[in-house]
Every structure is written in C-alpha cells, then in structure tokens.
Amino acid sequence: MLEKLFNILYPILRDLGMSRISASYLSLVVNIVVLIIMAFGIYYIARLFLVTLMAVFAQRTKTKFDDFLISNKTAKYTAYLIPAFFIYAAVPIILDKYDYWQLTFEKIFGIYIIFLMLWIIRTVFNSLKDYLKNKPEYSDKPIDSFIQVIMIVLWIFGVTVMISKLFGIKQTELLTILGTLSAIIILIFRDTILGFVSSVQVSINDMVRIGDWITMDKFGADGDVIEINLTTVKVQNFDKTITTIPTYALSSESFQNWRGMLKGDGRRIKRHVLIKSSTIRFLNNDDLARLRSVELITAYIDSRQVEIEKYNTNHNINKELHVNGRNMTNLGLFRKYISVYMANQSGLNENMVMMCRQLQSTEFGVPLEIYAFSKDKRWANYEYIMSDLFDHIFAAVPLFDLEIFEMPSKLQITDNNR
C-alpha cells in the first residue's frame, strides 16, 4: 500500500519541479505521514470506545470510584496510550530500511509511553484519593502524603528508565551514578524527605487530622486543618485566611490541637478578675445581716456563723478584735457566692471541675479565678456563656464591698499629682 502511494506521489512531485527530493526521502515522509494518520484514527476510535464504556460502566455500578476515574480523565489518557503502543510496534516494520529514524522514533515513543503510563497511574491515585476522602473513616487521614510518596518513587523510577532509554545507559549504571549524587538529591528533596517522615509520625501517632482545630503561634495558625500533604499543612484560620505550615514542623515544633476539647463534655472557662487587696476585710454582724438577704448564700451564712460562734465560744476567744478567732471575710463569702451561682447555671457542666479559686496575689491585686466548663462548645455560644457569667461577677463585686483593680488613667494620675 505504501509503495503504491509512493509510486503515485513521486511522478507528480517530479513534474512540479521537485525532482531534487530523493526517492528514499520521499518514501520516508510517506511512511511517517501514513503512520501518523493511522495513529490518529486509532486514537479517536479508542477514545470513543473507552470513554463510552467507562460512562456506561459507571452508571451501572454502585461505587463512586469509577465516577472519580471519569472526572480525572483516566479513560481519555488511556486512549492516548493505545496509538502510542501501535506506533512503537509499527516503527520497526514501517521504518525497517531507515535505521536512524527507526531508533529515533523508538526512543521518542518509548519515553512518551513511559510518561503516559505514569500520568495514567497518577489519575488512578487521584481518583482513589477523592474516593477515600468521601469515606468518613478516611476523611481525616493524610492520604495526600502517602499518594505523593508513591508517585515520587514511581516518577524517580520512570525518569531513570527514560534517561537510560534516551542515552542507552543501563539502569544499574544509572542508579550507581545517582547513588554517588545522593548527597545532592537529599539536599534537593530535604523538605520532601522530612515531610514524608513527619507524615508517617502524624498518621501513626494520630497527632493531626483533617478538620482538627489547631493553634500554632509561630506560624500564625489558628483554625481548621483543610489539607495535609507531603510538604505542607494548610490551615484555614477563623478570619478565612490560609496559613501554610511545613509538614515536618508538626513533629518538631509545639502546637495545640483542640480535638480533645471538641470531643469532650465541655469547653474550659479559665479567667480571673483582680480584686483590690485594700478592700478585703472581716465582716461584722451588720454586714452579715445585710448579706443574708442574698438568697444563694443565706443558708451558708447561717450555718457558717453558728459554726464560727461555737468555735470561738468553746475556745474563749476575745472578740474585741476581729482578727482573733475565726471570722468570715468579704472575699471568702464572695467566693462562696460565685461557687453557688455557677452551680446553678444551666450553661455550665456540673459534672466537670467547677470552682472559684484565689491565686497568688500580685502588685495589681488578688486574682480571683473562675475555673469551669461550658456545656456548649460552639465558639459563639461559649463566648456568650462566659461573658454572661463575668457580667454577673462584675456587677456583684460592689455588693460585698470589694473593688476590681483598674490601672489609673493618665488624667487621674495628673490630678493626683496636683
């Protein structure tokens, strides 16, 4: 067939004044053109068949994996592979008289086939990744990291095969050369190697999952993990900005994972107010009579006062001075009031630690800390519960003749100096 086509074209070109074109060169061009035309025909037939077959198959199956194969165009790239195999097999036959061109085409299409096969494997792995991410049990796993490691190994193997085929070097010799260049390779792929090791550690130790809320001050990250791959971890902060963290930093740096809180029974409230130490004093009978009207601590005042009077009487305590014997203080009674108040709040988890405690005094006053857990762990609701609690505390402080410390303004300092 090719000889007939050549016998038809050659006299025509000769009559057109192109007699300088040698018969062998024209025969080579005709062979290549025919080969390319046949390859295009095979490609369109293969693409039509594979894409249609894949679509029909995907509709009839319950699994979504084949749907992801379609979305990642696996069938389309496979259709490219079939004519490439055809050309690679046909070149020794069609170009048997042209050793140079035969060798050139074999190298070109051999490399092209290897590249296509790697690309098809990549689409399959991408489809597998998308499929697993839609599974609840795998949605929080660093699948990207493992797939990237596999693809890096395959690409390294594929590139070595391409180079050995292009330059006629044996793969064993090429790997020996690469071994001598291992220091440079390690330097180039440093982040990748560290990221791979870190990804394994993160996965095995279950340190971070996709969807976890993490805080990493060094990188300015405070939000939800949206992606974990071989080299980076992407965190969507609460202001919707994206922070990128090196994967190896998760195993070498300190960070805070809030997963335990989100899965627990409550979200911790730990905040204090500063009480002026000069306002702390003993309570007299008039004070106790006034504070007895506070319903939450009425019973406590009565029982506590009976206990204190009994102790002082039994020990013959001289009560001319309040410092003698046992007495109630306004701060101690205020702490009790806050404890009872918190116990009656529906927004706080009564089954978890709940206390109002006094911390080490400072130059700014005596810290009175609230330590409790809110039942609702959602951010907005949590802030509302905590704010509502401290609103009441600030408003109740004057009732106990206490004051909250505040730094004096510049105007007040100036007035005091006059």
**First vs last Cα of the chain: how many Å apart?**
114
Ramachandran category for residue 394: left, alpha or beta (phi over 0 → left; psi -120 to 50 → alpha)? alpha
pLDDT band at 272 (very low <50, low <70, confident <90, very high): very high
Dump strand ranges (E) for 229-329.
Answer: 232-237, 242-246, 256-257, 267-275
Q: What is the pLDDT of residue 21?
A: 47
- Evaluated on CA atoms 148, 150, 154, 159, the torsion sign reads positive
pTM of the model: 0.52
Q: What is the pLDDT of residue 20?
A: 46
The fraction of the chain above a pLDDT of 90, given in percent, is: 28
Residue 208 near residue 225, CB atoms below 8 Å: yes
Residue 88 near residue 110, CB atoms below 8 Å: yes
Q: Is the model's pLDDT at 2 over the cut of 70?
A: no
Question: Six-digit token pair at 199?
Answer: 């990804």
Mean pLDDT of 4-11: 49
Cα dist. 261→303, 340, 384 in Å?
38, 25, 18
Residue 333 near residue 396, CB atoms below 8 Å: no
CA distance 359 to 38: 86
Range name among 180-189, 200-209, 318-327, 342-351 with the lowest pLDDT average: 180-189
Could you tell me which residues come within 8 angstroms of residue 142 by beta carbon, excluding any fewer than 6 positions away? Answer: 199, 202, 203, 208, 210, 228, 229
More confident residue, 165 or 275: 275
Containing 114, the helix (H) or strand (E) segment is helix 99-133
Q: Would you call 288 helix, strand, or coil by DSSP?
A: helix
Residue 145 near residue 192, CB atoms below 8 Å: no
The fraction of the chain above a pLDDT of 70, given in percent, is: 82
Closest CA to 374 of 394, 352, 358: 352
Per DSSP, the chain holds a count of helices (H) and strands (E) of: 16, 8
More confident residue, 286 or 85: 286
Q: Would you call 46 helix, strand, or coil by DSSP?
A: helix
Containing 83, the helix (H) or strand (E) segment is helix 74-94
Range name among 93-107, 120-134, 297-311 with the lowest pLDDT average: 93-107
Q: What is the pLDDT of residue 15?
A: 47
Q: What is the pLDDT of residue 383?
A: 92
Mean pLDDT of 255-262: 83
pLDDT band at 180 (very low <50, low <70, confident <90, very high): low
CA distance 365 to 360: 9
Q: What is the pLDDT of residue 17?
A: 46
Count of CB atoms within 10 A of residue 394's CB?
10
Containing 296, the helix (H) or strand (E) segment is helix 295-314
- Evaluated on CA atoms 381, 383, 388, 393, the torsion sign reads positive
CA distance 33 to 163: 28
In the numeric block, the tokens 């009656």 are attached to 344
DSSP tag of 276: P
Q: Is the model's pLDDT at 1 over the cut of 60?
A: no
If you average pLDDT over every residue of the chain, what do you get? 80
Q: How far is it between the farthest Cα atoms of the chain?
A: 140
Residue 194 near residue 247, CB atoms below 8 Å: yes
Could you tell me which residues come within 8 angstroms of residue 255 by beta carbon, excluding any fewer than 6 positions away? Answer: 214, 215, 216, 221, 249
Q: Is the model's pLDDT at 358 over the cut of 60?
A: yes
Q: Is the model's pLDDT at 57 over the cut of 60?
A: yes
Q: What is the pLDDT of residue 369?
A: 95
